[in-house]
Every structure is written in C-alpha cells, then in structure tokens.
Amino acid sequence: MFRRFALMVVPALMVGVAIGAASRPADDAEQKQLIHNVFFTLKDHSKESRQKFLDSANKYLTGHDGTVYFVLGTVAEDVSEPVSVKDFDVALHLVFATKEAEAKYIKDPRHEEFVKENKDTWSKVRVFDTYLQHTK
C-alpha cells in the first residue's frame, strides 16, 4: 500500500516542484550583478579630446558605492575583424553589485556633473545594460 502511495505522490510532488520553479525567474534580477556598457561617439575624434573625456570620466565616475568593476578605453583603431564596430571613441564598462546600485549611480551628483560637463562633446551615446551570467 505504501509503495503504491509513494509511486503516485512522489511524481506528483516532483511535477509540482518543477512547475513552481518554472514560474519563478531562475535568478532574482534584483540580486544579479548589472553590467553597464556605454559607448560615446565624440564630436571631436582627436587624441586630445578623447584624453580630456577619459580624465573627466575618471574624475566623476570612479569610486561609487556598489561598483564591482570600472574600466574605460578608447576604440582600438588598429584591430579590424569582420564584425568590428568602429563608430565610437570611448567606451565605459562598469559592473554593479545590483540593479539598485546602478540606479543610485545614475542619480548621484558626481554622475550628473559628468553628464553636464560632457554632454556637449558627444554626438551619440549608446548604453547596453545586461545582467551578469556566471558560467560554471
């Protein structure tokens, strides 16, 4: 009798657990690290203009709470692959501990000062935000 009960109940429980797991996100987005990639196309593509922009970004965008990783760079003009994108001057790559940390960074007075100081120097800005997926 018990075996018969177990043969009916255990599979039902397994299906219930699988359905419950499928209805929830695999990972809570609030707890995932957020990657914030920003590509700036400047009006002036000179080395001096790029350096001035990098200096400003280093001044205002580093050291924010919740920042796990921060790096800046200029377009690698000497690297050419069939899929290479070259229509930018400076790239900013940040990893935030959480989505909330990124939202706090965006509203921070130092970030706002960076935008105010530099917005007239760029012709295009593209932002790519993604959640970090850890591999096994």
Q: Looking at the predicted structure, is the pLDDT value of residue 2 above 60? A: no
User: So what's the pLDDT on residue 31?
Assistant: 80
To the nearest whole percent, how much of the chain has pLDDT over 90? 74
Q: How far is CA 54 from the centre of its chain?
A: 19
pTM of the model: 0.76
The predicted-structure confidence for 82-121, as pLDDT tens digits, reads as follows 999 999 999 999 999 999 999 999 999 999 999 999 999 9
Q: Which has more pLDDT, 8 or 126?
A: 126
Delimit the domains of the chain by residue range: 31-131
Is residue 61 exposed (0-12), middle (13-18) or buried (19+ Cβ within 10 Å)? Answer: buried
Residue 80: what pLDDT? 93
Give the residue, 84 or 24, on which the prediction is more confident: 84
Architecture of domain 31-131: 2-Layer Sandwich (3.30)
Confidence label for 29 from pLDDT (cuts 50, 70 and 90): low
Question: Is the Cβ–Cβ distance between 125 and 28 less than 8 Å?
Answer: no
Q: Cβ neighbours of residue 9 under 8 Å, at least 6 residues apart?
A: none
